Amino acid sequence: MQTEIEIRGLSHHFVSPGGKSVSTIEDISLNVAPGEFVAIVGPSGCGKSTILNIVSGLLAVSEGEISIGGKKVQGVSKELVYMPARDSLFPWRTCKKNVELPLELQGILTPAERGERAEMLLNAVGLNGFSDYFPSSLSHGMRQRVAVARTFSTSPRILLMDEPFSALDAQTKIVVQDLFLKIWEEEKQTVLLITHDVMEAVALADRVVVLSARPGKIKSIHNIDLDRPRSVRKLLFDEPKFQKYLHAIWEDLDVQE
Amino acid sequence: MSKNNTSTKSKKTPKFAFSNSGSSAISLYRLITIVVFLLFWEWVARSGLVNPLFLAPPSKVVDSIGFLNEQGLLVPNILATLKAAFAGFLIGLLVGSLFGFVIGLNPLLNKFCAPFITMMNSTPRIALAPLFVLWFGIGISSRIVLVFSLVVFIVLTNTIAGTENIDKDHLVLAKLNSAKRRDIIFKVALPSVVPWIIAAMRVSFAYALAGAVVGEMFLGQEGLGYLITAGSGVFNVSLIFAALGMTIAIAFIVDRLMGLLEKRILRWRA
């Protein structure tokens, strides 16, 4: 099997203010195939975000190895896009200009083509007519949709997502997740998603990796065998298999009452 | 000074303040307040409760303004004050924001400069007026320097505070997109700092005007400050109030204009 993201024997620790070395993750090994959607769930503080920060090149590897497309990760790579929980839209840019930002920074396409692509993506997330609005006049859900459009703007090979929908209310979340799925199922990027929301992990991913409490180790990996294209809304109500996966993963998470 | 002027905080206040329909009512109440105040002042000044040597009624102040105008003393003196205030203000704004931006974006330089900026900022610049005359003569240049010295530190400290408050998420996003340094400077840092510079601008113009007037009192042969000194020299209180009234009017008009400019430039704020 081909590998897009290869994580081998990854451990990380930081020095606490008291001078002690605190281990956040321990011996994580994981292969993600091209076009595969992998979600990592785990209790809070188990080092989920650390993994993503290391894969993205923002944080240096302290132990272990990471390669993307067969090449060792050294610093930030243009092949991947990182989508954080907060939309981090630039308030002084219109929606359209926000979607164009990654293209602009990376020098992709001509200005006119960037504009077209931004319009197209804003339409895809259901924001036609909002191109020239500033983020301050949008709701949280709409802002996050702009962030989804921005995430896809450079047609990256790999998406790294850190709790991307966690700031949204329950209903808006499902709408935005479905919009995201629709675009992703056409483009099929390799995705590494970090979330504490088991439902989100099962609904979106092909595989769900469960981490233990700190220091985070891989506890189990679940293959999610649900048909695509999926709809989060439908899964929630009409899919018995979906519930089964939820149960199994909840068991593994071992959440204390 | 205007540290609370971050985008999120100031964005929310208007919603809880008065609604649009109330703003015309507010204007009316303001007008009534001013009229009542002036009438009261007029009454106190004329009633004999206060020595007329110390307080002139508004009607006499208006007469004084008319008199100054007839003598051809009004417009040239206003222009003289405006010239010194604006020259010092603009140079201070330019130098303060430029240096603030450069210092703020270089953490080491920022750390190095911080105590010096605090020291210079806490020096009472008005008290330096006599020194400025010594150094720059009694012409307009010493007044411009005085205004500059007041404005530049307000703008400098605000601009530095602005660079320190750039949203970390924005920087991370830029970095993850392999942004070049110049893109980070012009597409992330500069737009983040602009609201801080504008806030500093509005605060510092009042200081600029005060600096120009005080400068003229100490060392001028012209300007509104000169009129104040002249008025107090001959116990002409209405002349003093006339000059003060003109100063307030200028400050008010300029602040309104800068308010419009702010709305235009920061139209992306809710």
Backbone angles phi, psi at B84, to 5 degrees: -65, -45
Mean pLDDT calculated for residue range B58-64:
93
Distance, in Å, from the CA atom of A108 to the CA atom of A227, rounded to the nearest integer, reads 35
User: Is A90 in contact with B191 (Cβ distance < 8 A)?
Assistant: yes
CB A8 within 8 A of CB A65: yes
User: What confidence score (pLDDT) does residue B210 get?
Assistant: 93
Q: Does A91 touch chain B (CB under 8 A)?
A: yes
User: What confidence score (pLDDT) does residue B11 get?
Assistant: 42
* pLDDT tens by residue, A83-99: 888 889 999 999 999 99
Q: What is the secondary structure of B51-116 as a DSSP string?
A: -TTT---HHHHHHHHHHHHHTT-HHHHHHHHHHHHHHHHHHHHHHHHHHHHHHHH-HHHHHHHHHH
Q: Does A81 touch chain B (CB under 8 A)?
A: yes
Total count of residues recorded for chain A? 257
pLDDT band at B138 (very low <50, low <70, confident <90, very high): confident
CA distance B95 to chain A (A): 24
User: What confidence score (pLDDT) does residue B7 get?
Assistant: 41
Distance, in Å, from the CA atom of B250 to the CA atom of B270, rounded to the nearest integer, reads 29
User: What confidence score (pLDDT) does residue B13 get?
Assistant: 44
CA distance B169 to chain A (A): 6
Q: Does A134 touch chain B (CB under 8 A)?
A: yes
- Residue B266 has a CB neighbour count (10 Å cut-off) of 16
Q: What is the secondary structure of A169-238 as a DSSP string?
A: -HHHHHHHHHHHHHHHHHH--EEEEEES-HHHHHHH-SEEEEEPSSSB-EEEEEE----SS--HHHHHHH
Residue B16 has pLDDT above 90, yes or no: no
Q: Which range among A20-34, A197-211, B11-25, B117-131 has the greatest average pLDDT?
A: A197-211
Three-state secondary-structure class, residue B175: helix
Residue B15 has pLDDT above 50, yes or no: no
Q: Are strands A5-15 and A63-68 parallel, antiparallel or unpaired?
A: antiparallel
Distance, in Å, from the CA atom of B155 to the CA atom of B98, rounded to the nearest integer, reads 9
Residue B45 has pLDDT above 50, yes or no: yes
For residue B64, with 0-12 CB atoms within 10 Å meaning exposed, 13-18 middle and 19 or more buried, which class applies?
Answer: buried
Distance, in Å, from the CA atom of A70 to the CA atom of A141, rounded to the nearest integer, reads 37
CA distance A92 to chain B (A): 5
User: Is B176 in contact with A58 (Cβ distance < 8 A)?
Assistant: yes
Stretch 142-171 of chain A: residues touching chain B, C-beta under 8 Å: 154
pLDDT band at B3 (very low <50, low <70, confident <90, very high): very low
Three-state secondary-structure class, residue A255: coil
User: What confidence score (pLDDT) does residue A256 get?
Assistant: 59
CB A248 within 8 A of CB A200: no
Q: Does A90 touch chain B (CB under 8 A)?
A: yes
CA atoms within 13 A on the CB side of A108: 20
Mean pLDDT calculated for residue range B174-179:
88
pLDDT band at B174 (very low <50, low <70, confident <90, very high): very high
Q: Residue B188: its chain A contacts at CB < 8 A?
A: 90
* Domain extents in chain A: 1-79+197-257
User: What confidence score (pLDDT) does residue A210 get?
Assistant: 93
Q: Residue A105: its chain B contacts at CB < 8 A?
A: 174, 177-180, 183, 187
Q: Residue B191: its chain A contacts at CB < 8 A?
A: 90, 92
* pLDDT tens by residue, A34-72: 999 999 998 877 788 889 888 888 888 888 888 888 888
Residue B38 has pLDDT above 70, yes or no: yes
Range from A114-123, A165-174, B109-118, B224-233 carrying the lowest mean pLDDT: A165-174
User: What confidence score (pLDDT) does residue B203 get?
Assistant: 93
DSSP letter (8 states) at residue B188? I
Q: Residue A100: its chain B contacts at CB < 8 A?
A: none
User: What confidence score (pLDDT) does residue A112 get?
Assistant: 94
CB B1 within 8 A of CB B157: yes
Question: Residues of chain A whose pLDDT is less than 70?
Answer: 1, 255-257
Q: Does A60 touch chain B (CB under 8 A)?
A: no
User: What confidence score (pLDDT) does residue B6 get?
Assistant: 41
Q: Which of A76, A91, A101 is nearest residue B178 as measured by Cβ atoms? A: A76
Strands (E), B102-199: none
Mean pLDDT calculated for residue range B151-173:
94
User: What confidence score (pLDDT) does residue B245 get?
Assistant: 93
* pLDDT tens by residue, B187-221: 999 999 999 999 999 999 999 999 999 999 887 78
Mean pLDDT calculated for residue range B169-195:
93
pLDDT band at B32 (very low <50, low <70, confident <90, very high): very high
- Which ipTM score applies to this complex? 0.82
User: Is B183 in contact with A106 (Cβ distance < 8 A)?
Assistant: no
Q: Does domain A1-79+197-257 match CATH 3.40.50.1110? A: no
A88, A93, A114, best to mutate vs chain B, most B CBs in 10 Å: A88
Residue B8 has pLDDT above 80, yes or no: no
Of the candidates A238, A5, A76, A164, the one whose C-alpha atom is nearest the C-alpha of residue B174 is A76
| Closest alpha carbon within chain A to B270 | A136
A105, A108, A162, best to mutate vs chain B, most B CBs in 10 Å: A105
Residue B9 has pLDDT above 50, yes or no: no
User: Is B169 in contact with A91 (Cβ distance < 8 A)?
Assistant: no
